[in-house]
Structure 1
């Protein structure tokens, strides 16, 4: 029964960001998601989708964005902010779809012997074929290739950085595990996995040696690594964040003491590990109170900034993508309420595609909504534009709202951000 419950939890986690209370609509980007067939060697039998922004340089960067177990490339396109950021910064996004059945949905192969060796086969070879196709077909820059993903995709992110350090320049892993954490396919499912069972503990050198074994002939630079994990994640235990830190700091020959710590957003505690030149090679975010639900609003922008794809450079936080004012009006009764929200763009440039994140008071849970899609329904919520209101001109406003149940606290949402940047509220 415990194993069945964990499988259900895994399935629920992979669908968490898709649990919208109104039908999901593709964000109104200028370009569209395109499926590619015949992209090259494909031992993993994977599907490939690619998002190519209309405005891009001659040699755009390439970001591989990978879904969680039970998800898909098109699903992760819908649920994450990477396509909107691609429109803003002009990079390509590849969305692979895993086809390996791990017993509770299709997941990326991070367990087989073939997948753990450079050129060994399985999903890693398929993903590199997708990257090569994007370079050949769209002029993708081979010196600017990056990986990111959530849950199974976060695991695969660290995996690709280990197996193909000659292809990827950096990665951002959300809720992942260290490379070579899974012994084999039998070790993968929750409930039977030593890796995700909460007791995994190796020395930094043991973790680092695993990476070095993946491609013994590699003598070039290693990809920089960004790690994200929620402190309340029990499906992929939060303790694995520390194991990943130990692995990658050892790979870079860095100590276990961070060179700096800060809180770039409320509840985000960041540790940075820089080399002697001051370059941040590893950084880790502990997201206070978050479960198996990352990335949430604004986090993709920090990943893209870490890659160096924004004007701020690789070691800075994203530049302000939104200047905003948000007003909320609550009408409450018995155990229900409605909240009307007005979002005003107080900046000087038009917003093309937006996400509004906010925190609901305890006991409030959204039951329906209008003019946006909402996920999840309680706690830290992200509202995403629908097709008819994706653009907010400078000085203009849009109205959205939702109905919610409550247990007594009828206060307005707090900690409001638009496209990851804080808004003034009223």
Structure 2
């Protein structure tokens, strides 16, 4: 299967001034995603992109943000909120790109024997090298390193917390699985026991797997936040409980939460605190959600769990602008969709199919000269296909002619920019991709 990547490449430069990094001749928040081609030991053969906000402390925290299968670092950069929040809170974001093929394209290696050993090789060593590079090159604080990710990235989040408890201070795993859930490559989705819906080990067995991964480590363990949709069928919701059992056992906590609440509609949260009242494990059940996390607001909740949201970095003061002679026009609160010029969009659709199911990863690229503000992508599913869940977009209806609409964090697509969305579907034998796509009413080139 051929996986295409649309990379957003730029160069970020800055200088340090009175404890904050402020560019000499660029406006605030002008930072861009940059690829690093040589960052150190890289046994996983991975690619590294980094986002360094222009305004940041002298020794900023580091967040490693990891994509799902079939995605890429630049794709997760454009489809999640971690970079925009970095501008506000002043932390560095590392976006690794997995390069190893698995059931759904390129996924982070959480199945091989090498990847299950500390410094054993494969992707975990590559990711640790990226963190060290951010420390050397940008003064990133090696005592404030955090991991997060979606699906395959959520799996690798828990993986890194188990292998490198001395490096990571906390992690937030979206739709992940416990550490050492996969027996080998053949056990990886769409087949296998781990995500087959019947995985059930004891808390002691799960906890022992983490302790054995770093047997000589006796220090504090990284705090863990877990997220899962109750209607997730690709990575079954039941695995959230298995992850809770693993990490509460690692911390020696009760399986009964110390508190539970609903911080916002459909977000059911359970917290597991130690004797001092510190919440070491936090689990969110998102009612009705499929394989579609993180959605709007969840990145901010993860950062709050990390302790990175207070106080925010204060941006430089911008000199006041002389008001115009005539009053400015106030834009509408919900601006209408901006149609691209005909032929000013390109769509790549990558299908991964098995038995009676499939996933589609769709990259929409704005090849025009003007930004798209709000978008809807229309396509027709082949007969027999029906969408069961999706991510980074809403889909309606589930069959026939489908309209995918942006969610809050990916409404704007700059010229040359792209967004990646996707869905899971059932099929009756026809696993083909849609033949054509239109973006805001204009036809797109199908790559």
Counterpart among 363, 369, 373 of residue 371 in structure 1? 373
* Cα distance change, pair 39–107 in 1 and its aligned pair in 2 (3 A): same
Equivalent-residue separation in structure 2 for 1:270 and 1:30 (angstroms): 36
Equivalent-residue separation in structure 2 for 1:387 and 1:197 (angstroms): 40
Matched position secondary structure for 2:192: coil
Identify the residue that residue 264 of structure 2 maps to in structure 1: 265
Identify the residue that residue 45 of structure 1 maps to in structure 2: 45
Identify the residue that residue 209 of structure 1 maps to in structure 2: 208
Identify the residue that residue 185 of structure 2 maps to in structure 1: 185
Task: List aligned pairs for 1:195-344, cutoff 5 A.
Answer: 195-311=194-310
Matched position secondary structure for 1:377: strand
User: Per-residue deviation at 1:38?
Assistant: 1.3
Equivalent-residue separation in structure 1 for 2:207 and 2:252 (angstroms): 9
Query: Per chain length, whose mean CA-contact separation is higher, i.e. which structure has more relative contact order (CA < 8 Å, sep 6+)?
Result: 1
Matched position secondary structure for 2:309: coil
- The superposition leaves residues 247-293 of structure 1 with CA deviations (integer Å, 9 ceiling, x where unpaired) of 00000000001011111111000000010111110000000000001
* Pair 1:108 & 2:133 matched: no
RMSD: 2.8
User: Per-residue deviation at 1:30?
Assistant: 1.7
- The superposition leaves residues 385-416 of structure 1 with CA deviations (integer Å, 9 ceiling, x where unpaired) of 3449xxxxxxxxxxxxx989xxxxxxxxxxxx
Identify the residue that residue 74 of structure 1 maps to in structure 2: 74
Report the TM-score, using the length of structure 1 for normalisation.
0.71
Identify the residue that residue 21 of structure 1 maps to in structure 2: none
* Cα distance change, pair 36–340 in 1 and its aligned pair in 2 (3 A): closer
- The superposition leaves residues 74-133 of structure 1 with CA deviations (integer Å, 9 ceiling, x where unpaired) of 000000000001000000000000011114300000001111111111100000000000
Matched position secondary structure for 2:226: strand
Equivalent-residue separation in structure 2 for 1:378 and 1:105 (angstroms): 22
Native 8 Å contact 1:46 1:123 kept in 2:
yes
Identify the residue that residue 356 of structure 2 maps to in structure 1: none
* Cα distance change, pair 326–309 in 1 and its aligned pair in 2 (3 A): farther
Identify the residue that residue 419 of structure 1 maps to in structure 2: none
Task: List aligned pairs for 1:387-426, cutoff 5 A.
Answer: 387=414
User: Per-residue deviation at 1:381?
Assistant: 5.6
* Pair 1:385 & 2:402 matched: no
* Cα distance change, pair 312–274 in 1 and its aligned pair in 2 (3 A): farther
User: Per-residue deviation at 1:378?
Assistant: 3.6
* Cα distance change, pair 233–312 in 1 and its aligned pair in 2 (3 A): farther
User: Per-residue deviation at 1:65?
Assistant: 0.3
Matched position secondary structure for 1:65: strand
Native 8 Å contact 2:62 2:131 kept in 1:
yes
Task: List aligned pairs for 1:87-102, cutoff 5 A.
Answer: 87-102=87-102
Identify the residue that residue 121 of structure 1 maps to in structure 2: 121
Matched position secondary structure for 2:303: helix
Equivalent-residue separation in structure 2 for 1:36 and 1:386 (angstroms): 24
* Cα distance change, pair 403–137 in 1 and its aligned pair in 2 (3 A): closer
More helix by share: 1
Unaligned runs of 5+ in 2: 11-27, 313-330, 338-370, 377-391, 397-404, 416-438, 442-447
Report the TM-score, using the length of structure 2 for normalisation.
0.68
User: Per-residue deviation at 1:371?
Assistant: 1.9
Identify the residue that residue 160 of structure 2 maps to in structure 1: 160
* Cα distance change, pair 312–234 in 1 and its aligned pair in 2 (3 A): farther
Matched position secondary structure for 2:262: strand
Between Structure 1 and Structure 2, whose CA radius of gyration is higher? 2
Native 8 Å contact 1:305 1:312 kept in 2:
no
User: Per-residue deviation at 1:37?
Assistant: 1.3
* Pair 1:130 & 2:130 matched: yes
User: Per-residue deviation at 1:370?
Assistant: 5.8
Q: Where does structure 1 differ by over 4 angstroms across 4 or more consecutive aligned residues? A: 325-328
User: Per-residue deviation at 1:312?
Assistant: 6.7
Matched position secondary structure for 2:54: coil
Identify the residue that residue 21 of structure 2 maps to in structure 1: none
